[in-house]
Amino acid sequence: MHNKIFILLVMIMIMVSCQQDGEKIELDGDSVIQNLTQKHGEEHAARIEQGVQQVARFWRQSDGSQDDFAAFCEEQFITDPEKLDHTLQRFETHLEQIFGLNLAMNRELMRPIHVDIGPIYPVDMLFAEYNPFAHLEEDFFKTKVAFAALLNFPLYSLEEMLEKGVDWSRKEWAQARLVQQFSQRVPAEVKQRRSEAYVKADHYISNYNIYMGHLVTPEGERLFPEDLKLITHWGLRDELKAQYANPEGLTRQRMIQTVMERIIRQKIPAIVIDNQNVDWDPLNNTVTTADTQNAEQDVSASAEDNVRYQHLLNIFKAEQMADPYYPGMPTKMARRFQDDREIPEEQFEQLLISVLSAPVAKDIGALIRQRLGRDLEPFDIWYDGFKARSQMNVEKLDQVVSSRYPDTKAFDNDLPFILRNLGFRPETAEFLASKVEVDPSRGAGHAYGAAMRSDNAHLRTRVAEGGMNYKAYNIAIHELGHNVEQVFSLNRIDHIILQGVPNTAFTEGFAFVFQSRDLELLGMGKKDPQQELLKVLDTYWSTFEISGVALVDMYVWNWMYDNPDASPEQLNEAVQNIAKDVWNKYYAPVLGMKDQILLGVYSHMIDAGLYLPDYPLGHIIAFQIEEYFKDKDLAQEMERMCKLGSITPSAWMQAAVGAPISSEPLISATEKAVQSLK
């Protein structure tokens, strides 16, 4: 009786008008289910019902008639377990080539934009905006490859995966991840539009440089070296951090804060962006240049005029166009949290709030105030004094790094040595280094993984003319953590369909683990009990800072969906108000001042579509992993963890460290560290 009711419900669902991209077709799924059940037996009824329902959900008029639908299901449904296993293997083999080759093509098309190989020509942007993946999804449906997967393998909801996934076999996980790739049918033109918006925003951000040697005080004083060029926000933030080691650094930090605020408010003069031919007084917001007689002349200080927020709106509009094609996930937030992160948005928000509202934050704020010997200022959310490097001279660090790595080739050649120093066996270090290629980056740096085992991952890092400086080195070690994860989780995985990690935050976790060892790799780090306690405080403070940034990113996207017709000016105002609200709720009680907007400076809010929440999650995961590594072999355990692949975050953490994702270990360790340091 239960089966008959279930079949009736399925029939009703399938008989409804199926609509995708304006094409409608009435499908009689009941007869198809009955015929297949009669042919293969009642023991296959549940699989038949689910498979037919999944195919019908995406079947369009252009895919064929009712008879075509029935014939396809009749021909492609598989009952023999051995044939089903071989079919899964065929999918894995072919999809590795298809996705891998398309990703490699995309990387090469983006190369002139991402890699510093000379001038960017107009045609480079056209090629960069071309998305090799745009038509791929529709091609899978048109060839009915997608329907073959949907018919034979189960498509699970997030709730089902979270409930059942812990007990699944590796093969069951591979089946689930396979069919999940065909859980939406987005038209190619919509994907292409989305790709163009992201590429243009990325290009805008990658070339958003400030020439620090051309910043002047109202008295005309230059505070920074002539040749210092910093990308926003990363370079500005890291320079601000570096100034904690400089007794004269406070004035420089205040100037950087003013620059950041000009950018957020979009009051920055357009002419000073990526331009070394003018001088800018950020405090008075005036611009001057020199003529042939070296006499200063005023230059137009016309503001950038909300270009920053126009790019964010362009991405929002492109995502909005895609919304109707994602069943059950009709917003970018839903896709980011349910599909990409596989952590419900409300649960994720509460995880961040648990960090931000922990009472220990006030204790650390008081400790920072004591260590600085002054009242806190807004930029102290980036306080860097708990790190070992904070006591070191920045210029000396730059000299050490630049002498070791005069160019990207030198860093590339040193990868085996770096990896051996991290604990990897010589043969493993050589293997990893052989699968990573180092490129000179236009931006701050990033890791570009491969998608097929015959291809290599790419590490992009920025190297100045005189050699790599410490900031670039620190980022490069972070990116190397990504690359090692990418290589392991692709080349050492049992099912290629499970390549990768559950979501971006997990690869960020490994990157943070590597980054925290940067001084040790230079032979300059030293371990002592107090330094270990300070490291805990540093991790919490970094997580505390970026958790608020992540909330701003989330709330801004919710605001855009609530105000879909907003102008760039209105979005600008909204970002500032949201940043102030988050600040006043969580940061003002700790730092002592209200209505600050610095949480809105992060560039990934503009070009990466809700990427920022991955950072605090990455810190939380990294801390749990680090705690697990304390009495274990980092290299061996990292490889084991990476080979778990892209299962759900909860299942991955249980298998990796034996505990769920939680901020409690970090908060508890921070409370103990504060007590020990008193």
How confident is the model over 17-72, as pLDDT tens digits?
A: 344 444 768 899 999 999 999 999 999 999 999 999 999 999 999 999 999 999 99
Contact status, residue 72 vs residue 149, Cβ threshold 8 Å:
no
**Tell me, what's the pLDDT at 432?**
98
**Tell me, what's the pLDDT at 657?**
93
**Tell me, what's the pLDDT at 299?**
80
**Tell me, what's the pLDDT at 3?**
41
**Tell me, what's the pLDDT at 328?**
84
- CA–centroid distance for 442 within its chain: 18
- The answer to whether residue 255 scores a pLDDT higher than 80 is yes
Question: Rounded distance, CA 343 to CA 649, Å?
Answer: 8
Dig out the tokens for 377 from the structure.
Answer: 């200022």
For helices 29-40 and 45-58, give the axis angle rounded to 10 degrees: 150
pLDDT tier for residue 9 given thresholds of 50, 70 and 90? very low
Question: Rounded distance, CA 354 to CA 568, Å?
Answer: 32
**Tell me, what's the pLDDT at 295?**
55
Contact status, residue 622 vs residue 510, Cβ threshold 8 Å:
yes
Q: Which residue has the higher pLDDT, 2 or 575?
A: 575
**Tell me, what's the pLDDT at 12?**
33
Q: Which residue has the higher pLDDT, 669 or 389?
A: 669
pLDDT tier for residue 603 given thresholds of 50, 70 and 90? very high
pLDDT tier for residue 4 given thresholds of 50, 70 and 90? very low
Q: Which phi and psi angles does 447 have, rounded to 5°?
A: -110, 130
Tell me which H or E stretch contains 229.
strand 229-231
**Tell me, what's the pLDDT at 465?**
84
**Tell me, what's the pLDDT at 290?**
58
All structural domains of the chain with their residue ranges: 2-184, 204-307
Mean pLDDT, to the nearest integer, of 517-521?
91
Mean pLDDT, to the nearest integer, of 630-643?
93
Dig out the tokens for 350 from the structure.
Answer: 């509460």
Q: Which DSSP category does 216 fall into?
A: B
Per-residue exposure over 227-255, b if at least 16 CB sit within 10 Å of its own CB, e if not? ebbbbbbbbbbbbbbbbbbeeebeebbbb
pLDDT tier for residue 607 given thresholds of 50, 70 and 90? very high
pLDDT tier for residue 443 given thresholds of 50, 70 and 90? confident
Q: Are strands 279-281 and 286-290 parallel, antiparallel or unpaired?
A: antiparallel
Mean pLDDT, to the nearest integer, of 209-235?
94
Q: For 122-166, what is each residue's pLDDT tens digit?
A: 999 889 888 888 888 899 999 999 999 999 999 999 899 999 998
**Tell me, what's the pLDDT at 134?**
81
Dig out the tokens for 65 from the structure.
Answer: 């008639």
Contact status, residue 563 vs residue 578, Cβ threshold 8 Å:
no
**Tell me, what's the pLDDT at 23?**
72
Per-residue HEC secondary structure of 290-310 comes to ECCCCCEEEECCCECCCHHHH
**Tell me, what's the pLDDT at 527?**
66
Contact status, residue 357 vs residue 669, Cβ threshold 8 Å:
no
Identity of residue 3: N
- The answer to whether residue 282 scores a pLDDT higher than 80 is yes
Q: Is the bond preceding 203 in cis, omega lying within 30 degrees of 0? A: no
Mean pLDDT, to the nearest integer, of 348-365?
98
Mean pLDDT, to the nearest integer, of 599-620?
95
Mean pLDDT, to the nearest integer, of 630-645?
93
Which percentage of the chain shows pLDDT scores above 90? 78
Which percentage of the chain shows pLDDT scores above 70? 94
Q: Report the chain's mean pLDDT, rounded to a whole number.
A: 91
Q: For 308-338, what is each residue's pLDDT tens digit?
A: 999 999 999 999 999 999 988 999 999 999 9
pLDDT tier for residue 528 given thresholds of 50, 70 and 90? low
**Tell me, what's the pLDDT at 464?**
84
Contact status, residue 326 vs residue 137, Cβ threshold 8 Å:
no
Q: CA-CA distances (angstroms) from residue 335 to 149, 327, 340?
A: 21, 10, 6
> What sign results for the dihedral spanned by CA atoms 512, 515, 521, 525?
negative
Mean pLDDT, to the nearest integer, of 66-88?
97
- The answer to whether residue 247 scores a pLDDT higher than 60 is yes
- The answer to whether residue 13 scores a pLDDT higher than 70 is no
Mean pLDDT, to the nearest integer, of 541-562?
98
Tally the C-alpha atoms within 13 A of residue 420's C-alpha that lie toward its C-beta. 8
pLDDT tier for residue 391 given thresholds of 50, 70 and 90? low
For helices 29-40 and 66-76, give the axis angle rounded to 10 degrees: 20
**Tell me, what's the pLDDT at 393?**
77
Per-residue exposure over 336-349, b if at least 16 CB sit within 10 Å of its own CB, e if not? bbbbbbbbebeebb
Question: Rounded distance, CA 421 to CA 104, Å?
Answer: 30
Contact status, residue 614 vs residue 551, Cβ threshold 8 Å:
no
Question: Rounded distance, CA 314 to CA 316, Å?
Answer: 5
Q: Which phi and psi angles does 119 have, rounded to 5°?
A: -60, 150
Give SS3 for 663.
coil
**Tell me, what's the pLDDT at 487?**
98
659-665 long-range contacts, Cβ below 8 Å, gap at least 24? 659/624, 661/343, 661/351, 661/617, 661/620, 661/621, 661/624, 662/351, 662/620, 662/624, 663/351, 663/354, 663/355, 663/358, 663/543, 663/620, 664/354, 665/623, 665/624, 665/627
